[in-house]
Amino acid sequence: MLSKHRNLVLVGFMGSGKTVVGRILATRLRRGFLDMDARIAECAGKTIAAIFQEDGEAEFRRREREVVREIAARPGWVVAAGGGVVLDPANMNDLCRTGAVVCLSAPVSVLIERLRGDRTRPLLQGDPEQRIRDLLAQRRPLYDAVPFQVNTAGLSPEAVAEEVIRLTCGAD
Ligand code: S3P
């Protein structure tokens, strides 16, 4: 069992299931659940879309970095990270130092299907399918470098949670 004093952090592309699986894990492991986007929105007093629109992506990333620092300073959470948390190596250093970090992946066709019609994610405005393909191509090496990997293809959220527990149970 992962120590109660370590975080269990889910990363992965938008639509990979981090929030749904994170909630299941938090219930099963009897831990607090922290959704990074929700925390960022709460601290900013506005939605993620409004932060991007009014303050720009750099300000969003600054706020995201602040939340990572907060999580690393008080570990013990199940965390659903935002899809872009991998972009800053300092984030990954902090998260890997203070917890087990698991990347959820899904075939691009599944991500496109899940994110179809999404109006909330600022980075998918315009041609969402092309944006998904471009962002995934850019970020692939960063996601591949995450210590634990779960391919969610064909798995229910409960089965993904089970696999995350199995993979990380021996992690310190
Ligand atoms: C982002 C992913 C989003 C959110 C923001 C930026 C990204 O989170 O943090 O829109 O850069 O991939 P989800 O992965 O929870 O959708």
Size (the chain), residues: 172
Mean pLDDT across the chain, nearest whole number? 96
Residue 3's pLDDT is: 83
- Gap from CA of 124 to ligand 1 centroid (Å): 10
Average pLDDT over residues 57-74: 97
Q: Which residues contact 90 (CB under 8 A, 6 or more apart)?
A: 65, 68
Res 1 pLDDT > 80 = no
Residue 2's pLDDT is: 80
Tell me if residue 35 falls in helix, strand or coil.
strand
- Gap from CA of 36 to ligand 1 centroid (Å): 9
User: Which ligand 1 atom minimizes the distance to the CA of 35?
Assistant: 15
CA angle 92, 96, 97 (to 5 degrees): 115
Average pLDDT over residues 91-98: 97
Residue nearest ligand 1's atom 9 by CA: 82
Residue 172's pLDDT is: 65
b/e map 127-158, b = 16+ CB within 10 Å: ebeebbeebbeebeebbeebebebebeebebe
Res 171 pLDDT > 80 = no
Average pLDDT over residues 130-142: 97
Average pLDDT over residues 145-168: 97
Pick the range with the lowest mean pLDDT from 86-90, 123-127, 148-152: 123-127
Q: Which residues contact 53 (CB under 8 A, 6 or more apart)?
A: 122
Residue 32's pLDDT is: 97
Residue 156's pLDDT is: 97
Q: Which of 36, 37, 51 to mutate to test the pocket of ligand 1 (most atoms within 8 A of CB)?
A: 37
- Gap from CA of 37 to ligand 1 centroid (Å): 7
Residue nearest ligand 1's atom 4 by CA: 82
Could you report the per-residue pLDDT of 11-56, keeping only the tens digit for each? Answer: 999 999 999 999 999 999 999 999 999 999 999 999 999 999 999 9
Could you report the per-residue pLDDT of 2-11, keeping only the tens digit for each? Answer: 888 899 999 9
Q: How far apart are CA 157 and CA 18, in angstroms?
A: 9
In the chain, % of residues over pLDDT 90: 91
Residue nearest ligand 1's atom 11 by CA: 84
Ligand 1 residue neighbourhood (C-beta within 6 Å)? 14, 18, 37, 48, 82-84, 121-123
Residue nearest ligand 1's atom 16 by CA: 14
Average pLDDT over residues 90-101: 97
What are the respective helix, strand and coil percentages of the chain, to the nearest 5?
A: 60, 15, 30
